[in-house]
Amino acid sequence: MLAYDPSAYPLNQNEWSFPVCEVFHIVSFAIAISTVAMVDLRLLGLAFTSQPASKIWKDTAPWTLVGLVIVLISGPLIFFSDPVMYTYNLSFRFKMGALLLAILFNYTIQRKVALSDSSGALAKLTAVLSLGLWVSVVAGGLFIAFV
């Protein structure tokens, strides 16, 4: 059924390699989501009000990218420690859907709205949607252990 045996997988050999991988996952998603949240807070007019949203976007963009890259490396590493369980886990599937939407949303609509320095209803809606998507990703990840 599987092309390899998960018990022989490197991340399952050692008791602590899985938690270490998770810590990288948590720290990197904290970096990625917080920088997105900083842009969102600016779009909502709650922080950095003296600076244009485009500046916030441009300055946080490298950090968001670094965070996402490490997330997308540590994530699959964790997945392959128990691929069958994760594949069939409804919360994991939800998380992957939300993650795809969140990343796409961030680099299309949010990017456009931030770089155009718009304020008003559209900017606020974008920010709320963005925050909602990323919260769904985090919650989805957490509920993996509870469904």
Partner 1 sequence: MLLTFAQWIQFTDFFTYVRSSTFFYPIVLSLHMCGIAMFGGMILLGDMRMLGMGMTRFKVSDFLDQLKTPKRYALLLMVTMGAILAGSKAEEYYYNTFFRVKMALLLGVALHGLVFRSLYARAAAWDEARVIPSQAKLAAALSLLLWTGLVIAGRGIGYIEPPLDKIHARLEQGISYFR
Q: Nearest approach, Cβ of 140 to partner 1 (angstroms)?
A: 9
Site for partner 1 in 109-128 (CB under 8 A): none
d(CA 52, CA 49): 7
Interface with partner 1, residue 60, by CB under 8 A: yes
Q: Nearest approach, Cβ of 10 to partner 1 (angstroms)?
A: 18
- Number of shown-chain residues binding partner 1 (CB under 8 A): 38
d(CA 139, CA 95): 8
Are 144 and 91 in contact by the 8 Å Cβ rule? The answer is: yes
Query: Using CA of residue 50, residue 108, residue 71, residue 134, what is the dihedral sign?
Result: positive
Are 9 and 17 in contact by the 8 Å Cβ rule? The answer is: no
Interface with partner 1, residue 2, by CB under 8 A: no
- Segment holding 3, helix H or strand E: none
Stretch of 3-11, 25-33, 102-110, 121-129 contacting partner 1, by CB under 8 A: 25-33
d(CA 86, CA 107): 27
Q: Nearest approach, Cβ of 5 to partner 1 (angstroms)?
A: 18
Task: Give contact residues for partner 1 (rule: CB under 8 A).
Answer: 19, 22-23, 26-27, 29-35, 37-38, 41, 46-51, 55, 59-60, 63, 67, 85, 131, 134-135, 138-139, 141-143, 145-147
